Amino acid sequence: MELTDLTMPDFARALTTTTTLILPCGSVEEHGPHLPLGTDTFHALEVARRAARRVPVLVAPPLYYGVCRSTREHPGTISLSTPVLRALVAELGREFHRQGVRRLIILTGHAGGTHTAALIDAGEELLAAFPDLNVAVVNILEVLAAVLRDHPGLVQTKGDGHAGEVETALIQALYPQLVQGTAPAEWPRFPKFILARNKRKFWPGGVWGDPGPATPELGQRLLDLEAEVVARLVTDLADFND
């Protein structure tokens, strides 16, 4: 059930079925020369939608903007600061709780470490504020890792991470009209420990992996398997007590 599709009475009735809500988070970020800037958000939202077909759960409108550190100098990347993202997600969480949500899943399609840490900080803030609220923060790369452990060989490219085989397949499946061909395989080579000022020098093409083997069929399969992982989390969170 997507919040934006519900009327006021629909929402009130939905809360009698479930008090769990998924907040899809993403980014406006470069994804190589061939994928749209909204790739991370499209990914998280679609997984949330497919999970909602499997178990009763509310799906909030996605949060498009996130914290993008490594790609911030690439054309098209629009980044929030970490304090702003933390404050925004915490504020949304407070509003969801005020409206009756008691289990919140923050599902991020953008897997940056700084970005994810800000989401975890927001979740911890909400836990401290509301003893009756359970929170989970889910990084889509962790979901994908769980899928690939159960289905070895599904993805050909080792170390695929950003605008490569997986994300190209996802967008081919969801929005083929937005895929502008392909891109060369690439892996960034940032210096160890040293913070690089000119990040594009070490990651010029903005691809982490190999888009070449991607197919729409792979994208559909991955989305369904990821949705199953998230659907299980919905059930686990409903039963969680600490």
Per-domain boundaries in the chain: 3-235
Task: Say what the pLDDT of residue 196 is.
Answer: 92
Alpha-carbon gap, residue 54 to 52, rounded angstroms:
5
Place 242 in a pLDDT band, splitting at 50, 70 and 90. Answer: confident
pLDDT digits 0-9 by tens, 174-209: 999 999 999 999 999 999 999 999 999 999 999 999
- Structure confidence by residue, pLDDT tens digits, 35-57: 999 999 999 999 999 999 999 99
- Cβ neighbours of residue 105 closer than 8 Å, sequence gap 6 or more: 20, 21, 22, 23, 57, 135, 136, 138, 230, 233, 234, 237
Q: Is the pLDDT of residue 238 over 90?
A: no
Residue ranges in 7-81 assigned as alpha helix (H): 8-14, 39-52
Angle at 227 between CA 3 and CA 143, to 5 degrees: 115
pTM of the model: 0.96
Residue 30, classed as helix, strand or coil, is coil
Task: Compute how many other C-beta atoms are within 10 angstroms of the C-beta atom of residue 148.
Answer: 16
The helix-helix angle for 140-150 and 216-239 (nearest 10°) equals 110
Q: How many CA atoms lie within 13 A of 124 on its CB side?
A: 7
**Right CATH number for 3-235 from 3.40.50.2300, 3.30.420.40, 3.40.50.10310, 1.10.1040.10?**
3.40.50.10310
* Average pLDDT along the chain: 97
